Amino acid sequence: MQTRIEDFSALDAVVLAISADGVERNVEIARRYAPDLRVLSDPQLVAIDAFGLRHVDGGIDGDIARPATYIVASDGRVAWRDLTENWRVRPRPTRLLEEIPRGHD
């Protein structure tokens, strides 16, 4: 996502990562790998539960989020989603750019 951040911005799209990790860990990761992306720390899993993505005992220290990618339209509806069991398998930025609603989609 970092490599295509300007393309997302050109479509008025905001890329937001949600992580069960705490703020310090997310700041460290974002600075190193994705300084232009926004990261929400959700150690209480509030947002993660809202999307139904809790993976009970999936992490070293307990519950984490299942890997997922969502596109939420400006009206708040889920316009597109990708759910996977493998955190290494994610949709490419090009695919996401194609799926972003435009106009009255």
Query: In a 3-state reduction of DSSP, which class is residue 77?
Result: coil
Using an 8 Å Cβ cutoff, are 67 and 90 in contact?
yes
* Confidence bin at 105 (pLDDT 50/70/90): very low
Got the DSSP string for 15-65? Answer: -EEEESS-HHHHHHHHHHH-TTSEEEE-TT-HHHHHTT-EEEEEETTEEEE
pLDDT(18) > 60: yes
25-62 pLDDT, tens digit each = 999 999 998 888 899 999 999 999 999 999 999 888 89
- All domains of the chain in start order, with CATH: 2-99 (3.40.30.10)
Which pTM value belongs to this model? Answer: 0.80
What integer is the mean pLDDT of 61-83? 92
